């Protein structure tokens, strides 16, 4: 289904929920629960806690749905609620966000790693592992707003416009944050790439 068709079908479900059809919200939960849990797991490391936080996020969304005007796609709105719920959970638990980049298992997920795709040699594999660890560490050390922007772009594949909606900031700010995050990543991996 196209993005436009997907947004339209979500909006129909939202309208059904607003009209009192609770089953329509169940359909939205089923459609997005895996993506939301995966997103929350980047902030809340424990899977059981992440499940609880995702349920809390969906509950908040359900309660806020009457105010949802459809200016953004439902899932973009839901992502914003999920991120805020995860951050609030971490603040309440008085913990810093854990390394949400731990799910990056393949360096190919980042465009700068394409040169490693052909490398099956032991040296190439070692370099790939070093590169993966460097990327994970660098992302974990980024300020929260840069880390969120780069993860939403490079791992979740959101557009700049969607990220602006999720992060509730201007498009130019998103571009700047992603640029700064990529710059930090480039600086950390350049020595490894130069060795190879």
Out of 30, 60, 92, a domain closes at 92
Percent of the chain with pLDDT over 90: 23
Same-domain pairing of 61 and 109: no
Same-domain pairing of 109 and 56: no
Question: For 71-100, how does the pLDDT look when each residue is reduced to its tens digit (9 = 90+)?
Answer: 888 988 999 899 989 988 888 875 444 444
Residue 102: predicted pLDDT: 39
The CATH number for 24's domain is 1.10.1740.10
Same-domain pairing of 87 and 112: no
Same-domain pairing of 174 and 111: yes
pLDDT grade for 160, boundaries at 50, 70 and 90 = confident
Residue 120: predicted pLDDT: 55
Radius of gyration for the chain, computed over Cα atoms and rounded to the nearest angstrom: 19
Out of 40, 62, 92, a domain closes at 92
- Is the pLDDT assigned to residue 53 strictly greater than 60? yes
Same-domain pairing of 82 and 138: no
Domain span at residue 63 reads 3-92
Same-domain pairing of 78 and 122: no
pTM exceeds 0.85: no
Q: At what angle do helices 3-18 and 74-92 cross, to 10 degrees?
A: 70
> If you average pLDDT over each of 113-117, 177-181, 191-195, which comes out highest?
177-181
Q: How many domains in the chain?
A: 2
Average pLDDT over residues 126-155: 83
Same-domain pairing of 36 and 87: yes
The CATH number for 112's domain is 1.10.10.10
More confident residue, 155 or 119: 155
Of 173, 130, 152, nearest in space to 80 by CA: 152
Same-domain pairing of 86 and 153: no
Residue 151: predicted pLDDT: 86
Same-domain pairing of 86 and 106: no
Out of 73, 92, 111, a domain closes at 92
Same-domain pairing of 34 and 80: yes
Average pLDDT over residues 166-176: 88
Same-domain pairing of 113 and 88: no
Average pLDDT over residues 146-169: 86
Same-domain pairing of 86 and 105: no
- Is the pLDDT assigned to residue 123 strictly greater than 60? yes
More confident residue, 29 or 118: 29
């Amino acid at each position: 289904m196209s993005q436009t068709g997907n947004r339209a079908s979500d909006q129909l479900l939202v309208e059904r929920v607003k009209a009192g059809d609770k089953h329509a919200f169940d359909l939205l939960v089923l459609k997005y629960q895996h993506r939301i849990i995966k997103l929350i797991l980047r902030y809340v490391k424990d899977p059981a806690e992440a499940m609880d936080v995702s349920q809390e996020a969906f509950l908040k969304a359900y309660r806020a749905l009457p105010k949802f005007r459809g200016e953004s796609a439902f899932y973009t709105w839901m992502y914003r609620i999920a991120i805020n719920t995860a951050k609030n959970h971490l603040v309440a638990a008085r913990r810093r966000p854990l390394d949400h980049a731990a799910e990056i298992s393949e360096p190919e997920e980042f465009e700068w790693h394409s040169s490693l795709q052909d490398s099956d040699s032991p040296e190439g594999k070692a370099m790939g592992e070093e590169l993966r660890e460097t990327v994970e560490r660098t992302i974990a050390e980024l300020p929260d707003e840069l880390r969120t922007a780069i993860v939403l772009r490079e791992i979740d594949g959101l557009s700049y416009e969607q990220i602006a909606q999720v992060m509730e900031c201007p498009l130019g700010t998103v571009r700047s944050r992603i640029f700064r995050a990529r710059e930090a990543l480039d600086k950390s991996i350049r020595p490894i790439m130069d060795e190879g």
